[in-house]
Amino acid sequence: MFALLTFSLSICCIQLIGAWLRFLSFKQDMSPEQIRSYWRKVLCLSLLALPLYACIFHSRGVAVQPYKAVLMLGWIPYQLLFLWTVRGRYLEHLFVWSMSALWSFICHNWSNIVLAIFFYGQAEDMVLKLHAFLYLIWFLLLFPIARVCFTELLPAFSLFQSKLVRAYTAILPTVMLLGFVVLIADSTLWHSWEERLARLLLPVAFFISYHLLLKSSRRIYEQRRLEQKAAIMAREVAYLEEGKKLVEGSRAQAQAQQESLFSMYGELEEFIKAGEIEKARQLIAAQDMKLSAASITPYTDYPIINAAISIYLRKAEEKGLSVKQKVNLPKGMGTDEQELAVLLSNLLENALLAVMRDKETGAAAGPGSISLILQHIGEQCVLEIVNTSVAPLHLGKDGLPVTSRQGHGLGMLSLRNFLKRYDGYADFTQEQGQVTLSMYWEDKKC
């Protein structure tokens, strides 16, 4: 009975190794409490499995069929427990499980080859006990490689954004594994050398190639990420320059208005002294029109945001568009004033271009309109821009518009960067000749 318990303990250790490999891939995403709770449950499960395995081998004997059945099915409770601990990431679980099963299969076949060389023709029970022991030896020898490989699996897998690519990446090693399992799911103890070598070399070649493919993909994605980051940084430099120009323009405009007012006061004084009241009224009316056309409306307590909104809404009014706005931002807002001003400039410019493109092509049914709502609600900011446009709205996989117009791509890149920076969400819709952007983000300092 002691020999059966020792043999059963070896198989429990094999199952624990598989559980450890799968855990290693998810370790970075698990809290310390999750880790402690998971391993307590795993050890309890192993304590239950140990006498169960011993009973199976006591009743069926240490034979090929029960041994293979225990190895092929014993991992299921451990995997179900892991799925319960780390929930909702089914493709990642499938991918990690299949790769860990391939690793176990490689260790399994190394043991087969050693046994075929040194213990061919020996008693079946002794060969199976040695096989389980050799599996543990191979795992210890390959421990450094396994640790590196399985730690890097999910970071590489997470780079694939397409659901189809992720599904293909997860399913392919599973299909490969199932093909080998079908070949060995019999009661044969000794297979031919051709079968032994094929079952070893093919999984090794597949595992190495797949791992290198993932590393290459990771390098490519990292390179693209660096390129995008460089483009974003270049755009942010442009934002700073645009913001600086807005401020300088506002100051120059205020100075010019002040000088114009001084000149106007002189003319007005002369008209009044000469008793030419009508000319004085005409001068005042003309000055009012100039001030109205050049003024920056104080929508908020943030001058750059006021300038951005005023410039584009005034442009829309000058082009005969119907303009509506409702802006309400509090003092001490966490969102960076300059980033929000540049974002508003990009979005309002895109909306204005879309409306004007309809008017130029004759597709617009009316004069066209632009509506802006910018509110602060609780801990979030809400932005809605509605503009008339009958041109089809083409959305990318991320839900943002895609276009071939030069400059618009960087505008959408700035929007993506803004949403990521402030944990925001944007939704573009088009109904009955109107395009609506609904957007919200967390009002926080970054």
416: Cα within 13 Å, side-chain hemisphere = 18
Q: Measuring CA to CA, how many Å separate 5 from each of 14, 47, 62, 267, 407?
A: 14, 12, 12, 110, 71
384 within domain boundaries: yes
d(C-alpha 27, C-alpha 20), whole Å? 10
Whether residue 168 is contained in a domain is answered as yes
Asked whether the predicted pLDDT for residue 316 surpasses 70, the reply is yes
pLDDT at 387 over 90: yes
Beta bridge partners of 324: 371
| Beta carbons of 345 and 312 less than 8 angstroms apart | yes
Q: Is residue 305 situated within a structural domain?
A: yes
The pLDDT-based confidence of 407 (bands split at 50, 70, 90) is very low
Residues 316 and 185 grouped into a single domain: no
Tens of pLDDT, residues 194-245: 777 777 777 777 777 777 777 777 777 677 667 666 665 665 566 556 556 6
* CATH number for the domain that contains residue 444: 3.30.565.10
Give the helix ranges, DSSP H, for 61-88: 64-73, 75-85
- Supply the range of the domain harboring residue 27: 2-191
Picking from 137, 169, 191, the residue at the C-terminal end of a domain is 191
Between CA 174 and CA 238 the distance in angstroms is 49
Q: What is the pLDDT of residues 421-445, one digit of tens each?
A: 898 999 999 988 899 999 999 998 8
Single residue among 167, 191, 215 that ends a domain in this structure: 191
Q: Based on the domain organization, do 185 and 321 belong to the same domain? A: no
Please give the Cα distance from 206 to 398 (Å, whole number).
Answer: 33
Whether 289 maps to a domain, the answer reads: no
**Is the domain of 186 the same as that of 331?**
no
Establish if 240 belongs to a structural domain.
no
User: Is the C-alpha dihedral spanning 230, 235, 236, 238 positive or negative?
Assistant: positive
Across-strand partners of 387?
370, 435
Q: Are both 187 and 323 inside the same structural domain?
A: no
Q: Is 197 inside any structural domain?
A: no
Among residues 135, 139, 142, the alpha carbon closest in space to that of 71 is found at 135
Q: Are 444 and 334 in contact (CB under 8 A)?
A: yes
Report in angstroms the alpha-carbon separations of 33 from 17, 29, 36, 41, 85: 21, 12, 5, 12, 11
Residue 269 lies in a domain: no
CA distance 354 to 348: 10
pLDDT of residue 1: 66
Domain count, the chain: 2
Banded pLDDT at 81 (limits 50, 70, 90): very high
203 located within any domain: no
| 135-170 per-position pLDDT tens digit | 888 888 888 888 888 887 776 676 666 677 778 877
Question: Final residue of a domain: which of 131, 164, 191?
Answer: 191
CA atoms within 13 Å, Cβ hemisphere of 89: 18
The pLDDT score that the predictor gives to residue 78 is 92
Residue 389 has pLDDT above 70, yes or no: yes
